[in-house]
Amino acid sequence: MDVVIEVRDARIPLATTHPKMDSWLGNRRRIIVMNREDMVSADDRNAWATYFSSQGIKVIYSNGQLGMGTMKLGRMAKSAASTVNTRRREKGLLPRPVRAGIVGYPNVGKSSLINRLLKRRMCPAAPRPGVTRELK
């Protein structure tokens, strides 16, 4: 994976991550996506953005159902993984698409975000846990 996209619920961002996530990811580049931004006030959004930026973590607010924030996420993922293609060019290889892994708790909007990023229905999405087991 070139970049790991961790999807969290914007209403409870610290409760929708695992305490060992940092050790599992190691030194991989990580982008945190706060999904369901429409359910959070602007003051709370700004407070969380300040909190995460003080820790040096890149955060994007999105709405998986409406597709808000997905263009910015795509650009950020490409820029985070640009070092891979520069190394490939130095070796004389052609650039390749970004390989991203999407992780997160159940029902935080991973499937909706995947469908929006790929601009087609790659995985089913429903308001109950355990619907998406694999990509089509």
Distance from the Cα of residue 23 to its chain's centroid: 18
Q: What per-residue confidence (pLDDT) applies to 117?
A: 77
Which portions of the chain are predicted below pLDDT 50?
none
3-state secondary structure of 7: strand
Closest C-alpha to 28, from 52, 56, 2, 6: 2
d(Cα 92, Cα 74) in Å, to the nearest integer? 25
Q: What per-residue confidence (pLDDT) applies to 122?
A: 61
Cβ partners under 8 Å of residue 111, min gap 6 = 123, 124, 125, 131, 132
Question: Could you tell me the domains of the chain?
Answer: 3-118 (3.40.50.300)
